[in-house]
Structure 1
Amino acid sequence: MVVEFAAEPVSRGSTAHGLSAPTVGLAGSILVGLAAGLVLQAWTVAFLGRLGGEALYVRSVYTPIGYLALAVTEGLVVAAQVSAGRAASSGRHREALKSVPTFLAAGGSLLLLQAAVVAVAPGAVLAVLGVASDEQRPVMVFIVATAVSSAVGLIPYLGAGVLRGLGFTGAAAWLGVAFTVLSIAGMTVLHWATGLGVLAVPIGGLPATVLVGAATAIVLRRKGLGWPVLRGDRQAAGEVWKLGAPVAATFLLLSVATLGYLTVLQSAGPTEVAGFSLGQMASSLVMVVALAIGSGAAIAVTLTPGENRRGISLAGLTTTLRLSLPPYLVIGAGVFLFRGEIAGALTSDRATAAVTAEYFAWTGPTLALFGGTLALLTYLEQIGRAGLAFTLNAVYFALMVAAAFLIPGQVTSGDLARLTAAGNLLGFVSLWFSARFLIRRG
Structure 2
Amino acid sequence: MDSVTEPDGIAPQPYTSAPPEPTGEPAGVAASLVAATVKFSASILLGLLASLVLQMWTVAYLGRLGGDALYVRSIYAPIGFLVLAVTEGLVVAAQVSAGIATRGGRRDDAVRPIPTYLAVGGALLTLTAAVFVAGSGSVFSVLDVVPSQRFDVLTFVVAVCITSALSLVPHLGAAVLRGVGRPGVSSVLGVGFTVLSMVGMVILGKTTSLGALTVPVGGLLAAVVVGIAAVVSLRRHGLPALTPSLRRDAIGGLWAFGAPVAATFLLLSMVTFGYLWVLRDAGTAEIAGFSLGQMATSFFMVVALAVGSGAAIAANLRPGERRRGVNQAGMLATLWVALPAYLVISAGAYLLRRPLSELLTSDRGIATVAADYFAWIGPTFALFGGTLALLTFLEQIGRARAAFALNAIYFAVVLAIAVALPQPVDSATLAKLLAASNLIGFVTLWFSTRYLIRRAR
TM-score past 0.5 threshold: yes
Q: Map residues 392-411 of structure 1 onto 2, 5 A cutoff.
A: 392-407=406-421, 411=425
Q: Which amino acid aligns with 1:225?
A: L
Summarize the Cα distance change of 1:125–1:340 in structure 2 as closer, same or farther, 3 Å threshold: closer
Structure 1: state its 5+ residue gaps: none
Aligned residues: 442
Instruction: Say yes or no: does 1:434 pair with 2:448.
Output: yes
136-145 vs 294-303, which moves further: 136-145
Distance 1:147 1:33 in 2: 22
Q: TM-score with structure 2 length normalisation? A: 0.86
Instruction: Say yes or no: does 1:156 pair with 2:170.
Output: yes
Q: Which residue of 2 aligns with 1:207?
A: 221
148-157 vs 116-125, which moves further: 116-125
Over aligned residues, Cα RMSD in angstroms?
Answer: 3.0
Q: Which residue of 1 aligns with 2:430?
A: 416
Q: Which residue of 2 aligns with 1:364?
A: 378
- Which of 298, 303, 311 in structure 2 is aligned with 1:284? 298
Q: Which residue of 1 aligns with 2:22?
A: 9
Summarize the Cα distance change of 1:181–1:387 in structure 2 as closer, same or farther, 3 Å threshold: same
Paired residues of 1:9 and 1:308 also in contact (CA < 8 A): no
Q: Which residue of 1 aligns with 2:97?
A: 83
Q: Which residue of 1 aligns with 2:329?
A: 315
Paired residues of 1:29 and 1:170 also in contact (CA < 8 A): yes
> Deviation of residue 239 (structure 1)?
1.7
Distance 1:278 1:391 in 2: 28
Distance 1:149 1:23 in 2: 32
Q: Which amino acid aligns with 2:22?
A: P
Paired residues of 2:30 and 2:332 also in contact (CA < 8 A): yes
Q: TM-score with structure 1 length normalisation? A: 0.89
Q: Which residue of 1 aligns with 2:189?
A: 175
Q: Which amino acid aligns with 2:412?
A: A
Deviations 1:32-69 (A, max 9, x none): 11111122223233444455566555544544333222
102-111 vs 207-216, which moves further: 207-216
- Which of 31, 36, 41 in structure 1 is aligned with 2:50? 36
Distance 2:208 2:372 in 1: 45
Deviations 1:82-126 (A, max 9, x none): 111111011001110011111111101112233445667876776
Summarize the Cα distance change of 1:170–1:341 in structure 2 as closer, same or farther, 3 Å threshold: same
Paired residues of 2:56 and 2:360 also in contact (CA < 8 A): no
428-437 vs 128-137, which moves further: 128-137
> Deviation of residue 334 (structure 1)?
3.1
Q: Map residues 61-210 of structure 1 onto 2, 5 A cutoff.
A: 61-117=75-131, 139-193=153-207, 195-210=209-224
Paired residues of 1:30 and 1:296 also in contact (CA < 8 A): yes
Instruction: Say yes or no: does 1:25 pair with 2:39.
Output: yes
Paired residues of 1:123 and 1:133 also in contact (CA < 8 A): no
> Deviation of residue 435 (structure 1)?
1.0
418-427 vs 406-415, which moves further: 406-415
Distance 1:100 1:64 in 2: 27
> Deviation of residue 350 (structure 1)?
6.7
Paired residues of 2:289 and 2:370 also in contact (CA < 8 A): yes
Q: Which residue of 1 aligns with 2:394?
A: 380
98-107 vs 226-235, which moves further: 226-235
Q: Which amino acid aligns with 2:304?
A: A
Paired residues of 1:51 and 1:197 also in contact (CA < 8 A): yes
Distance 1:134 1:27 in 2: 45
